[in-house]
């Protein structure tokens, strides 16, 4: 964002980041509550499962849907300004690029911060691992959640950006839940399976066996999904829809 961000964009970024952070921490709460209740054993396997379950599940689709609805949905200040500029003759893609970047930044950075705080709390409470392992886990988890948030946010933006209807962003949550029932290798078509893979979880449990995929392959798929969804969203926007 070459010209920096103005007050309206800053407000949109802060609002979207706040929403994303609250959702991320809320869905990590079950793991932290298990610590308080003494139900989460102090070992690496259970810690890894708790982290993967917290951020590889429905958390990031919810983050993406809420942020996109807040930033790109009809009625939001950034969307309203973009529509006015296009109506005045501005080129649609150059106008909507900034709000789309705001949504991406809010979702990815806030979810990464929330996941890093969760890892810090979990490891600190369990007194598990060395300082080096803590730093590695912080960055690895933040990286995985950033990738996942980017992929889901791009998908939600693609669904919302033409019509401006915020409710359409929540389709990604339905897609996430349905994708968990896909059999075999088809489960890898959805971002969630790749997020869990990057976070170190076992392959998703479908109706039949799901093949193992290298983590680097999942990283590449998530980056590709984020880029393709965002590019397609830019191409779909042409201003406020006709009434």
Say what the pLDDT of residue 78 is.
94
Q: Residues 141, 115: contact at Cβ < 8 Å? A: yes
Q: Taking the model in full, what pTM does it have? A: 0.87
> What pLDDT shows up at residue 110?
94
**The pLDDT value given to residue 199:** 84
How far the first Cα of the chain sits from its last, in Å, is 32
pLDDT at 207: 47
Q: pLDDT truncated to tens, each residue of the chain (243 aa)?
A: 545 678 888 999 999 999 999 998 888 777 666 655 555 555 555 666 667 777 777 889 999 999 999 999 998 999 999 999 999 999 999 999 999 999 999 999 999 999 888 888 777 666 666 677 778 888 888 999 999 999 999 999 999 999 999 999 999 999 988 887 777 677 788 888 888 888 877 655 554 556 678 889 999 999 999 999 999 999 999 887 755
For 141, phi then psi, to 5°, come to: -70, -45
For residue 179, which phi and psi values (nearest 5 degrees)?
-65, -25
Q: Is 228 helix (H, G, I), strand (E, B) or coil?
A: helix
In this prediction, residue 189 carries a pLDDT of 83
> Cα separation of 146 and 148, whole Å?
5
Q: Using CA atoms, how far apart are residues 51 and 67, in angstroms rounded to an integer?
A: 22
| Residues whose CB is less than 8 angstroms from the CB of residue 75 and which lie 6 or more positions away in sequence, other chains included | 166
| Whole-angstrom distance, CA of residue 113 vs CA of residue 145 | 9
How far, in Å, CA of 125 to CA of 123, rounded?
6
3-class SS letters over the chain = CCCCCCHHHHHHHHHHHHHHHHHHHHHHHHHHHHHHCCCCCCCHHHHHHHHHHHHCCCHHHHHHHHHHHHHHCCCCHHHHHHHHHHHCCCCHHHHHHHHHHHHHHHHHHHHHHHHHHHHHHHHHHHCCCCHHHHHHHHHHHHHHHHHHHHHHHHHHHHHHCCCCCHHHHHHHHHHHHHHCCCCHHHHHHCHHHHHHHHCCCCCCCCCCCCCCCCHHHHHHHHHHHHHHHHHHHHHHCCCCCCC
pLDDT at 243: 53
Rounded distance between C-alpha atoms, residue 66 and residue 24, angstroms: 11
Residues 110 and 21 sit within 8 Å (Cβ to Cβ): yes
Handedness of CA 215, 217, 223, 225 (dihedral sign): negative
């Amino acid at each position: 964002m070459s010209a920096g961000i103005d007050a309206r964009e800053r407000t949109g970024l802060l609002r979207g980041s706040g929403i994303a952070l609250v959702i991320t921490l809320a869905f990590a709460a079950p793991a932290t509550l298990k610590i308080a209740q003494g139900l989460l054993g102090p070992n690496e396997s259970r810690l890894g499962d708790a982290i993967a379950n917290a951020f590889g599940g429905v958390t990031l689709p919810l983050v993406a849907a809420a942020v996109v609805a807040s930033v790109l949905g009809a009625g939001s200040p950034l969307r309203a300004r973009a529509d006015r500029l296009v109506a005045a003759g501005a080129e649609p893609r150059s106008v909507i690029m900034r709000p789309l970047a705001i949504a991406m930044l809010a979702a990815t950075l806030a979810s990464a911060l929330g996941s890093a705080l969760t890892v810090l709390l979990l490891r600190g409470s369990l007194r598990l691992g060395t300082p080096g392992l803590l730093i590695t886990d912080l960055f690895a988890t933040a990286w995985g959640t950033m990738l996942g948030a980017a992929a889901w946010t791009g998908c939600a933006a693609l669904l919302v950006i033409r019509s401006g209807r915020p409710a359409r962003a929540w389709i990604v949550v339905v897609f996430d839940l349905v994708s968990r029932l896909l059999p075999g290798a088809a489960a890898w078509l959805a971002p969630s399976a790749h997020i869990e893979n990057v976070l170190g979880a076992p392959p998703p449990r479908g109706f039949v066996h799901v093949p193992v995929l290298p983590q680097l392959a999942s990283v590449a798929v998530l980056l590709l999904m984020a880029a393709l969804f965002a590019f397609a969203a830019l191409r779909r926007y042409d201003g406020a829809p006709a009434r």
